[in-house]
Structure 1
Amino acid sequence: MVSLFTQSKKLGVRMNMQDWNQNVGSIIDYAQRIFPDVEIVTRNLNGVISKTNYGEVGRRAKKLGSALEKYGIKHGQNVGSLALNTYRNMEMYYGISGMGAVMHTINFRLHPEQIVYIINHAENRIIFIESVFAPLLEAIQDNCPSVEQYVVLCNKDEMPETKLKNAVSYEEFIEDGDENYQWPALGEDAPCGLCYTSGTTGNPKGVLYSHKSTLLHAWAGSSANGLGLDKDDSILMVVPMFHVMGWGLPYIGAMNGIKLVLPGMGMDGAALVELIQKEEVTLAFGVPTIWLGLLGYCKENNIKLDTVKQTVIGGSAVPYSMIKQFDEEHDINVVQGWGMTETSPLATANIRTKAMEAMSKEERYKLQTKQGKPVYGVELKIVDDDGKQLPEDGAAFGKLLIRGPWVNKRYYKFDEDAIDADGWFDTGDISSIDPDGYMTIVDRAKDVIKSGGEWISSVDLENAAQGHPDVTQACVIGVAHPKWDERPLLLVVPANDKKDKESIFAYLEDKIAKWWKPDDIVFVDELPIGATGKVLKIDLREQYKDHLMK
Structure 2
Amino acid sequence: MLGLMQDWPLTVDRIIDHARSWHGGIEVVSRSVEGPMVRTTYREIHGRAKQLSNALLSLGVLPGDRVATLAWNTGRHLEAWYGIMGIGAICHTLNPRLHADQLCYIINHARDKVIFTDLTFLPILMEHRAKLDCVEHLVVMTDEAHMPADYPAALCFETLLAQHGADCAWGGFDENTAAGLCYTSGTTGDPKGVLYSHRSNFLHTLGTMGADVLGISARDVVLPVVPMFHANAWGVAFSAPAAGAKLVMPGQHLDGASVHELIETEGVTFSAAVPTVWRMLLQHLRETGGQLSTLTRVVIGGSAVPEDMVRAFRDDYGVTVTHAWGMTETSPMGTQSSPNRAVAAMDAEEQLRYRLKQGRPPLMIDLKLVDDQEHVLPHDGQATGRLKVSGPFVVREYFREAERAILDADGFFDTGDVASIDDQGYIQITDRAKDVIKSGGEWISSIEIENLAAAHPKAAMTAVVAIPHAKWDERPLLLVQLKPDERADRSEFLQFLDGKIARWWMPDDVVFVDHIPLGATGKIDKKLIREQFKNHVVQPIAAGLSPEQPNAEEAPADAPGPFPAEAAEASPARASTLTMVALSGALMGAYLWRSFGPVRR
The TM-score, its normalising length taken from structure 1, stands at 0.96
Query: What secondary structure, in the 3-state scheme, does the structure 1 residue paired with 2:171 have?
Result: coil
Match of residue 351 from structure 1:
338
Match of residue 366 from structure 1:
353
Correspondent of 1:227 among 214, 227, 235: 214
1:48 aligns with 2:36: yes
Query: 540-549 or 404-413, which moves further after superposition?
Result: 540-549
Deviations 1:363-418 (A, max 9, x none): 22222110000010000011000100011100111000000000000000012331
Match of residue 571 from structure 2:
none
Query: What secondary structure, in the 3-state scheme, does the structure 1 residue paired with 2:335 have?
Result: strand
Unaligned 5+ segments in structure 1 are 1-12
Partners of 1:448 and 1:227 lie apart in 2 by 30
Query: 219-228 or 482-491, which moves further after superposition?
Result: 219-228
Partners of 2:408 and 2:283 lie apart in 1 by 45
Match of residue 523 from structure 1:
512
Partners of 1:39 and 1:76 lie apart in 2 by 31
Deviations 1:248-307 (A, max 9, x none): 111101110011111001111111111011001111110011111111011000111121
Partners of 2:382 and 2:409 lie apart in 1 by 28
Query: What secondary structure, in the 3-state scheme, does the structure 2 residue paired with 1:126 have?
Result: strand
Partners of 2:386 and 2:108 lie apart in 1 by 33
Counterpart residue type for residue 434 of structure 1 = D
Deviations 1:410-438 (A, max 9, x none): 00001233111211000000000000000
Query: 333-342 or 38-47, which moves further after superposition?
Result: 38-47
Correspondent of 1:304 among 277, 291, 315: 291
1:218 aligns with 2:205: yes
Match of residue 141 from structure 2:
153
Partners of 1:280 and 1:513 lie apart in 2 by 44
Aligned pairs, how many? 537
Match of residue 197 from structure 1:
184
1:256 aligns with 2:280: no
Partners of 1:363 and 1:456 lie apart in 2 by 24
Counterpart residue type for residue 127 of structure 1 = I
Correspondent of 2:368 among 381, 389, 401: 381
Match of residue 450 from structure 1:
438
1:544 aligns with 2:544: no
Counterpart residue type for residue 539 of structure 1 = L
Match of residue 109 from structure 1:
97
Q: CA deviation at 1:186?
A: 1.1
Match of residue 175 from structure 1:
162
Counterpart residue type for residue 528 of structure 1 = P
Contact 1:228-1:351 at 8 Å conserved across structures: no
Q: Cα distance 1:170–1:507, how it changes in 2: closer, same or farther (>3 A)?
A: same
The TM-score, its normalising length taken from structure 2, stands at 0.88
Contact 2:20-2:46 at 8 Å conserved across structures: yes
Q: CA deviation at 1:360?
A: 3.4
Partners of 1:193 and 1:409 lie apart in 2 by 15
1:490 aligns with 2:478: yes
Counterpart residue type for residue 21 of structure 2 = R
Partners of 1:189 and 1:288 lie apart in 2 by 34
Partners of 1:378 and 1:421 lie apart in 2 by 17
Match of residue 498 from structure 2:
509
Correspondent of 1:532 among 521, 530, 544: 521
1:325 aligns with 2:312: yes
Q: CA deviation at 1:160?
A: 1.0
Match of residue 77 from structure 1:
65
Q: CA deviation at 1:15?
A: 4.1
Query: What secondary structure, in the 3-state scheme, does the structure 1 residue paired with 2:128 have?
Result: helix
Unaligned 5+ segments in structure 2 are 539-554, 560-601
1:19 aligns with 2:30: no
1:143 aligns with 2:146: no
Counterpart residue type for residue 133 of structure 1 = F
Partners of 1:67 and 1:57 lie apart in 2 by 15
Contact 2:339-2:354 at 8 Å conserved across structures: no
Counterpart residue type for residue 279 of structure 1 = E
Match of residue 419 from structure 1:
407
Query: What secondary structure, in the 3-state scheme, does the structure 2 residue paired with 1:450 have?
Result: strand
Partners of 2:164 and 2:372 lie apart in 1 by 55
Partners of 2:167 and 2:20 lie apart in 1 by 12
Q: CA deviation at 1:354?
A: 5.4
Deviations 1:440-474 (A, max 9, x none): 11000000000011100001111111122122211
Contact 1:155-1:170 at 8 Å conserved across structures: yes
Q: CA deviation at 1:191?
A: 0.2
1:292 aligns with 2:252: no
Q: CA deviation at 1:229?
A: 2.3
Q: CA deviation at 1:541?
A: 0.4
Counterpart residue type for residue 151 of structure 1 = V
Deviations 1:321-370 (A, max 9, x none): 11111111111110111000000000101114554454333322222110
Partners of 1:66 and 1:184 lie apart in 2 by 14
Partners of 2:52 and 2:439 lie apart in 1 by 56
Deviations 1:80-120 (A, max 9, x none): 11010000011111110011100000001100000000110
1:240 aligns with 2:227: yes
Counterpart residue type for residue 500 of structure 1 = D
Correspondent of 1:316 among 286, 303, 316: 303
Q: CA deviation at 1:162?
A: 3.1
Match of residue 582 from structure 2:
none
Q: CA deviation at 1:14?
A: 4.1
1:429 aligns with 2:423: no
Deviations 1:503-525 (A, max 9, x none): 22112111101100000111111
Q: Could you list the runs of 4 or more consecutive aligned residues of structure 1 that deviate by over 6 angstroms after TM superposition? A: none
Query: What secondary structure, in the 3-state scheme, does the structure 2 residue paired with 1:497 have?
Result: coil
Contact 1:107-1:242 at 8 Å conserved across structures: yes
Match of residue 36 from structure 1:
24
Correspondent of 1:282 among 251, 269, 278: 269
Match of residue 185 from structure 1:
172
Higher relative contact order (CA 8 A, sep 6+): 2
1:394 aligns with 2:369: no
Partners of 1:110 and 1:101 lie apart in 2 by 24
Counterpart residue type for residue 271 of structure 2 = A
Contact 2:13-2:171 at 8 Å conserved across structures: no
Match of residue 438 from structure 1:
426
Contact 2:216-2:240 at 8 Å conserved across structures: no
Counterpart residue type for residue 149 of structure 2 = E
Match of residue 9 from structure 1:
none
